[in-house]
Amino acid sequence: MVVDEIPLERCHAGYVTYLDYASVWLTDSNMDLDVAALNAVLRCGACFSHLIAPTTLPCGHTVCVDHPTTTRCPVLHCNPHNGPTRPRIPSASRVNYLPPPALSNSLPSSVSDAPKVDVTINKIISLLNGLQDNQQPTQSSTTRPRSHSGSPPARPRKRQRVLDPDSDDDENNVDLLSHLRRLSPPRDPTPSFAKELLTELSCEICFMLLYNPVTTPCQHTFCAKCLHRALDHSNLCPLCREALPGFSFFEDHPVNQTVETLIVTAFPEMYTERAETIASEERDARLDTPIFVCMLIFPGHPTVLHFYEPRYRLMLRRCLEQEVPSFGMIMPPRNGEQSSFGTMVEIRSVQMLADGRSMVETWSTFRFRILERGTLDGYTVGRIERIDDMPDSPTLGLTGPSNTELMEMCTEFLQQLRRGTAPWVVQRLQNVHGPPPDDPAAFTYWVALILPLDDYEKAKLLPIRSARLRLRLVAHWIEQLNSNWWFASGCVVV
């Protein structure tokens, strides 16, 4: 069996399929692990001796637990600011990314009392010690010395043993089993050791080979991205459920250098394949447009959003890694009917908070229509089609008032409401940035933000490709408002 024969649908089944794949990979590659090189990695960064009760510090170095680590790392030339998990924002991006505010280095009381032993590294040390004990040479009593003469020694005639199947005891079977064990060649412990080592170097969240391994203060190791996604849901360790520091503690956290070196030393090809697979998955995920189901927004207006749900926190991190960080925004479904039209927004500024939440400033750019939608890691993604205005037909302007007259009618209506001191008009006008635009296309969106209409009624402007038709629709709304009894009577009811 080769790796290519594993069905594709089984590759997404979970840990068992991954172990099957890893077993085939180890068998086909005829792996011969360099145990001496692995032992060389497992040395203390402070005293350079073999690690005894290893503990991993927040800077990524692993030392013996008896070294003092309360003030600073005992490793010389330690540079704790080398974490790879910060969002990879392209240089061409215009996002103003603000990291979370600096916090004190104090840890929760549950993880700051006494140093703990790194679980992964300690298990690997025990695994190597057990392998060395099994490989010690032992001389069997049944081994015959080789003759130094030219002729081979005469082989003694074997005594034929007749097994009695009716015997009540198992003496004959035991003798035969011992004889077969003496004749069989010794087993090579390397393949089973490689599988056990691979199991210890697997993430307990994704059950794959650790990539960018990060060790928590409770000394459990996970993939950096897996830990981030777990912290989106809870600040407890996924294994021992101890309280962990906030999201900002792990956002720029260094990797466990000892574990990463062990992976590169033992499984270099598998680690390279793991990196290529992650990059491919992220590239494929960015092909689809992320959709934020939140509210109605029109092009040309700023919006400040609060990201706190785990799925949208993950979506934001992925958006920040694009050259033009943006996502679509649509309204929530109504009566089971999902909206197919929305507005694309571009991220301008991000203020990260200590617990992983963020305040995001955006600017809406253009309208779109969803052609196909799906779900990726809990949030909506889709294939979209951009909606742009078409030039107005000359015959369209021959009927009815001109665009200028329609805009003047809308402005007069708003001024009349302002003179009537309508509270909702004053509040909405304060929320709208800038004076009324002169462009008829942008003017329709500006007026629609102020009118006291249902958002689902206002959403009818999104699919219209003609600025004049949108103006006529807005004028129709104003005529309906003027025809109501509470407008005609001169009083305003909120």
pLDDT (mean) for 265-279: 90
pLDDT (mean) for 438-467: 91
**Cα angle for residues 166, 167, 169 (degrees, 5° grid):** 145
> Can you list the domains of the chain with their CATH numbers?
31-93+113-129+192-282 (3.30.40.10), 288-387 (2.30.130.40), 394-488 (no CATH)
pLDDT in tens, 170-215: 555 556 666 666 666 555 545 688 889 999 999 999 999 999 999 9
Q: Could you tell me the two tokens for 42?
A: 């497992």
pLDDT (mean) for 22-42: 68
Q: Could you tell me the two tokens for 355?
A: 């617990």
Residue 336's pLDDT is what?
A: 84
Q: Rounded to the nearest 10 degrees, what angle do helices 467-483 and 440-450 cross at? A: 30
Q: Could you tell me if 442 and 467 are in contact, meaning their C-beta atoms sit under 8 angstroms apart?
A: no
Mean pLDDT check: name the lowest of 52-56, 176-180, 194-198, 329-333.
Answer: 176-180
Residue 28's pLDDT is what?
A: 45
Mean pLDDT check: name the lowest of 22-31, 34-43, 317-326, 465-474.
Answer: 22-31
Between residues 396 and 488, which one has the greater pLDDT?
A: 396
Using 50, 70 and 90 to split pLDDT, how confident is the model at 48?
A: confident
Give exposure, 260-288, as e/b (b: 16+ Cβ within 10 Å).
bbbbeebbeebbeebeeeeeeeeeeeeeb
Residue 411's pLDDT is what?
A: 86
Using 50, 70 and 90 to split pLDDT, how confident is the model at 149?
A: very low
pLDDT (mean) for 422-441: 70
pLDDT in tens, 5-22: 444 333 434 444 454 555
Q: Which amino acid is at 246?
A: G
Look over the chain and give the mean of its residue pLDDT values, rounded to a whole number: 78
Residue 444's pLDDT is what?
A: 92
Using 50, 70 and 90 to split pLDDT, how confident is the model at 122?
A: very high
Q: How far apart are CA 399 and CA 420, in angstroms?
A: 33
Residue 83's pLDDT is what?
A: 46
Predicted confidence (pLDDT) at residue 100 exceeds the cutoff of 70: yes
pLDDT (mean) for 143-160: 48
Q: Measuring CA to CA, which residue among 345, 336, 297 is closest to residue 459?
A: 297
Q: Could you tell me if 195 and 22 are in contact, meaning their C-beta atoms sit under 8 angstroms apart?
A: yes
Predicted confidence (pLDDT) at residue 328 exceeds the cutoff of 90: yes
Predicted confidence (pLDDT) at residue 161 exceeds the cutoff of 60: no
Say if strands 302-307 and 358-376 run parallel, antiparallel, or are unpaired.
antiparallel
pLDDT (mean) for 246-268: 89
Residue 150's pLDDT is what?
A: 46
Q: How far apart are CA 494 and CA 491, in angstroms?
A: 10
Using 50, 70 and 90 to split pLDDT, how confident is the model at 98?
A: confident
**Percent of the chain topping pLDDT 90:** 36
pLDDT (mean) for 61-72: 80
Mean pLDDT check: name the lowest of 165-174, 272-281, 317-326, 385-394.
Answer: 165-174
Q: Which residues pair with 306 in a beta bridge?
A: 359
Residue for token pair 């025990």: 126
Mean pLDDT check: name the lowest of 249-258, 352-361, 363-372, 458-467.
Answer: 249-258
